[in-house]
């Protein structure tokens, strides 16, 4: 009997891999009346977990400051385990850099807002992300950074 060669893309599990909340200047900074600045950094990473199974993580770091003093810092990593089989190699990058993060990201947004609110602050809602544009920008940057071979 021939092995099944049908393309497979299935979510095995979505989970909160890591989360932390730091308030290094509490309680004093909580008495400040000034509005804090908010800086949000996002990242995506993918790695094989087993044959045909991959873990894709979306990481968010939310830093709020008043002047140069941190009000709070939240770091969270939301992960998904995906079974991906029998896809052409050229589709693997977009699947892991666009499709998988789009599935995982809403969970990350919810968890980050919840952590911040449980810390006693108004929730910070992460904006919707266009993972396709982010992926294309990373690909363009990687191509620009690639070493060039010059022949004479």
CA-to-CA distance for 123 and 125, rounded, in angstroms?
Answer: 6
In a domain, 148, yes or no: no
pLDDT band at 118 (very low <50, low <70, confident <90, very high): very high
CATH of the domain at 93: 3.10.420.10
CA-to-CA distance for 12 and 105, rounded, in angstroms?
Answer: 16
Note whether 94 and 46 are within 8 A (CB).
Answer: no
Instruction: Give the CA diameter of the chain.
Output: 72
Sign (positive/negative) of CA torsion 102, 107, 113, 119?
A: negative
Round the average pLDDT of the chain to a whole number and report it. Answer: 91
Residue tagged 């620009």 (tokens): 144
Question: Domain containing 115: what range?
Answer: 15-127
* Percent of the chain residues past pLDDT 90, beyond the cut: 74
This prediction has a pTM of 0.86
Kindly state the average pLDDT of the residues 101-112.
97
Helix-strand-coil split of the chain, %, nearest 5:
30, 40, 30
> What local confidence, expressed as pLDDT, does residue 138 receive?
85
Kindly state the average pLDDT of the residues 54-68.
96
User: Domain count of the chain?
Assistant: 1
In a domain, 92, yes or no: yes
Q: Does the pLDDT of residue 151 top 70, yes or no? A: no
pLDDT band at 141 (very low <50, low <70, confident <90, very high): confident
In a domain, 133, yes or no: no
């Amino acid at each position: 009997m021939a092995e099944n060669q049908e393309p497979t893309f299935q979510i095995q599990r979505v989970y909160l891999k890591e989360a932390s909340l730091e308030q290094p200047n509490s309680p004093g900074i909580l008495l400040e009346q000034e509005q804090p600045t908010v800086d949000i950094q996002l990242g995506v990473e993918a790695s094989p977990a087993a044959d045909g199974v991959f873990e894709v993580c979306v990481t968010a770091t939310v830093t709020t400051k008043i002047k140069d003093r941190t009000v709070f810092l939240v770091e969270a990593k939301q992960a998904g385990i995906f079974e991906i089989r029998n896809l052409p190699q050229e589709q693997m990058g977009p699947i892991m850099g666009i499709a998988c993060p789009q599935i995982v990201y809403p969970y990350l947004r919810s968890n980050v807002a919840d952590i911040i609110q449980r810390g006693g602050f108004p929730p910070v809602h992460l904006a919707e992300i266009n993972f396709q544009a982010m992926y294309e920008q990373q690909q363009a940057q990687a191509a620009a950074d690639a070493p060039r071979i010059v022949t004479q």
